[in-house]
Structure 1
């Protein structure tokens, strides 16, 4: 077991870089990357860092030179032989050779493209531009670097025993959560915490604790590097990025209305089983399901990632019933703002009515609330999103308007096209 406090205290980033590998990323990014490599390889996109928690002034906490060193290190990484062998030969979701030879040859030769970094009003403006399959792979490393540099900035003046006590308290907190989760009969839960983790070593410790504490109820991790090293399942399907870019490329309102379904038609051609999960909330869950083609009702399940999770699940159940599908055979994955209390409540309400699973993120891998003065390690909402495609702005509406992004005029247009009326705003939980 790694002594995290000692590693933090004696830290030298050249020995202990924040991002250790090109597969220190979420599994869904690689699945989506292969789909984009096949279907939209020449699309030009821009990704941008967005700090929703503006009170956390990252450019005043983090040294720009150190940030550039870490980002430059990420650009130096390439796929190692053992990593390539794992991706080429491992079984994922019951399927061997998930990643096609042409994609793997491209990935093995990849170096991530250049970045653009500026400071403005206490924040970093970090952008990435280029071909979609290359640029998209910056998202998770960029977030991991910023999140861990913030952690290091807060901890840099703490002495060894202070750090030992801090991590002991963090470990105790997580273990108490695990002990509560043990009491949930039929629980299925995975680690989705890469993008906002406290640090790599901490995420790895959390995964090991979940595996030991929950046994078969712990289904795996979204982090490919940890999955490979710990010999556990890599978990993930697809994300909002796909419909956002497909929609931005639409040349008319009619094409725009069909863009989210074209994404899933392309996905349907590549994947089956538990990889056929619908993420319906990019432009409003209710409207998405109301207009969805009948063939989507046969898919395995739905992931709920914004809005009221219970209401979203009820909408999905009614939709399946209306299409003659048995909800008890369908899977719902909850993945937004989870902690033990919400997991307990959602499982109690829906277990037996549907198959229930949870993707647990920030409150698994970054819950140090109240453990340092000024609550300076409290998690915050940092994202890295596609903001344009072929020069056209992207838009996300979400089931929570506080998560919406895009130019106001385009947001209004998308609401009209997708029939999104009044929405209930809620706090963005991390």
Structure 2
């Protein structure tokens, strides 16, 4: 096992690059990338970094030269032979050859496109422009770089023993969470913590700890590189990016209202089983379910990623019942801002009524709260989202208005088209 504190103390970034592989990314990005490669390969998009936690002034913490070095390093990465073999031949969700030959040929020759970086008001403006299949693969590595450079900036003046104690305390904190989770009957939990992790080495340690500590209760990791190296299941389905871009491409309000279902129709053509998971909250869960075509009720499950998770689950259960489906045969994946108390609460509330699973993110792979003075390692909320498609702005409404994004006029239009009324706000912690 890696001595993380010693490696941090002796950091030489050329032997410890933050992103070491193009598959140091979430599995759902590769699944979505293949879908985009098949259905919308010529769409031109812009992705942009959005720091929701304005009090964290990233440009004051992170050296621009270091940031550019890490981003330039990523641009030089390509798939290794072993990584390509794993993607081509491994069993994913019970299926061989999940990734098509034409997609793999394209991916094996890919180098990520250029980036644009500026400083403004204590923040970095980081944007990526180009064809959708290429640009979308910047999202996870860009976030990983920003988060880990922030961690390195806070840790750089700590001595060797101070670092040893810090990581010992963080390990103890995570293991106490493991012990709590062990007490939850029939737990099914996966690591969803790549995008806002403390560091790659720390995420890898956390995954190993969860795998040993929870046994069959730990079902895998979203991180493809860690899944490959640790011989674990790669976990993930689809995300808000798909309906956001499809919606931006819609020529009128009628096509806009249909766009989220067009996304899932394309997905339906490619995947079955546990990959048929609905993410309904991009433009409001209530309206999405009310207007959903009947064939979607036959899908395997739903992921709850914003708003009150219990309310979202109850709405899903009621929808399945109204469509003649037995909720006990369905899967609900909770994935928004989870920690152990909420995981336990939701498990007790819904186990037996539906199949329950959890995608545990930032508070698994980056919970250093209370471990350094002034809480300078506390996690914060930063995202990298598609902000335009073919020159048109993208919009996300969410079940939590605090997560909404897009021009104000377009947000109002989307609310009208999707019938979104007054919403309750929830603090966005991570």
Q: What range describes the TM-score normalised by the shorter chain of this pair?
A: over 0.9
Aligned runs of 1:376-415 on 2, under 5 Å? 376-415=376-415
Aligned runs of 1:261-410 on 2, under 5 Å? 261-410=261-410
**CA contact 1:330–1:355 (8 Å) conserved in 2:** yes
Q: Which residue of 1 aligns with 2:80?
A: 80
CA distance in 2 between counterparts of 1:9 and 1:208 reads: 22
SS in 1 for 2:228: helix
Deviation at 1:416, TM superposition (A): 0.1
Q: Which residue of 1 aligns with 2:201?
A: 201
Q: Which residue of 2 aligns with 1:137?
A: 137
- Normalised TM-score (structure 1): 1.00
Deviation at 1:374, TM superposition (A): 0.6
Deviation at 1:106, TM superposition (A): 0.1
Q: Which residue of 1 aligns with 2:126?
A: 126
Deviation at 1:144, TM superposition (A): 0.2
Deviations 1:156-180 (A, max 9, x none): 0000000000000000000000000
**CA contact 1:27–1:236 (8 Å) conserved in 2:** yes
Q: Which residue of 1 aligns with 2:221?
A: 221
- Normalised TM-score (structure 2): 1.00
CA distance in 2 between counterparts of 1:314 and 1:19 reads: 39
SS in 1 for 2:55: coil
CA distance in 1 between counterparts of 2:230 and 2:341 reads: 28
Deviation at 1:319, TM superposition (A): 0.1
| Structure 2 residues without counterparts, runs of 5 or longer | none
Q: Which residue of 2 aligns with 1:10?
A: 10
Moved more, 37-46 or 420-429: 420-429
SS in 2 for 1:214: helix
CA distance in 2 between counterparts of 1:139 and 1:160 reads: 33
| Structure 1 residues without counterparts, runs of 5 or longer | none
SS in 2 for 1:96: coil
**CA contact 1:336–1:429 (8 Å) conserved in 2:** no
Deviations 1:210-260 (A, max 9, x none): 000000000000000000000000000000000000000000000000000
Tell me if 1:146 matches 2:166: no
Deviation at 1:429, TM superposition (A): 2.6
SS in 2 for 1:349: helix
Q: Which segments of structure 1 move beyond 3 Å, counting only runs of 4 or more?
A: none
CA distance in 2 between counterparts of 1:199 and 1:222 reads: 15
CA distance in 1 between counterparts of 2:3 and 2:382 reads: 28
**CA contact 1:48–1:386 (8 Å) conserved in 2:** yes
